[in-house]
Amino acid sequence: MASASPNQNSSLNHLLPPNWKTKITEWLQEDIPSFDYGGYVVGEKETTAILYGKSEGIVAGVPFFTEIFEQLGCRVEWHVKEGEVLKPIQTCAHVYGPVRQILIGERTALNMMARCSGIASQAHRLRILKDKNGFKGVIAGTRKTTPGFRLVEKYGMLVGGADTHRMDLSSMIMLKDNHVWSTGSITAAVQKAKAVGGFALKIEVECRSEEEADEAIAAGADIVMLDNYEGDALKIAAGNIKQRWAAKGRQVLVECSGGVTEQNIESYFCDAIDIISLGSMTQGVSFVDFSLKVQKNA
């Protein structure tokens, strides 16, 4: 089957930080903080469960799913690869272990797979539109992620072929309207940011006009975000900014954001835009449907 991204491979789990497994421990603790009443009913008999993919989408979240069951003393055997396109109804994996332990992990694992795969599927569809239109820039997510679940959601973006954008407040300095208003001016905000961020961190400034973009670039910003621009106004502004600063020997990245969706993103594609970011990659995204069924005669 086709994979989500031509650059996708099975080693994305090598990106995960050392503490990622503790997140899964916390998920399990949240779902069973005291007695396991249902587990008492079924006991510890060894059994097999099958993970079915029940709707179309991109498979994402494999290492998290596997770790959930490994922490419960179970074993997972996969029949699909991460990034693969699901054709429902499809057998994705077998889970082997004590029935009680499988049922403890069932809902946590399904919730994670549904959301991670939904985000990967959205990213994949956006990647197809980018390639179809020959857009040379970057399609990125945002920091509009679920608290405590960001690692999984950003992982899903990568599996689907999108850029994660900044991972957190420590990854890049982004100065938005509240930063500017609280500091007094774009120039003052950028100068203060540069004083602590040093050479290693890029600075991006949210701008509502070409004048604000010019002020940000003059102050030392690396990226300007044209927020809530639409159609020709966006393309004209981005082109003017690029041309004006290229004449002065400055190369600057231009990002657009605000109101971009899968349905309208093609109207934002142009050579003067380097990055298009979408909060809708994580907010309101449709999930991919999975189910985990214990085999009756196992």
CA–CA dist 116, 79 (Å, integer): 18
Please report the pLDDT score of residue 228 as a whole number. 80
- How confident is the model over 191-247, as pLDDT tens digits? 999 999 999 999 999 999 999 999 999 999 999 999 888 788 999 999 999 999 999
pTM of the prediction? Answer: 0.92
Cis peptide before 223 (omega within 30 of 0): no
Instruction: Clarify whether 144 is annotated catalytic.
Output: yes
Please report the pLDDT score of residue 14 as a whole number. 87
Please report the pLDDT score of residue 160 as a whole number. 97
Please report the pLDDT score of residue 11 as a whole number. 62
Q: Which of 144, 192, 194, 202 is catalytic?
A: 144
**Cβ(220)–Cβ(189) under 8 Å?**
no
Sheet holding 75-78, edge to edge: 75-78, 90-98, 46-53, 290-294
pLDDT-flagged residues of the chain (< 70) = 1-11, 297-298
Please report the pLDDT score of residue 4 as a whole number. 46
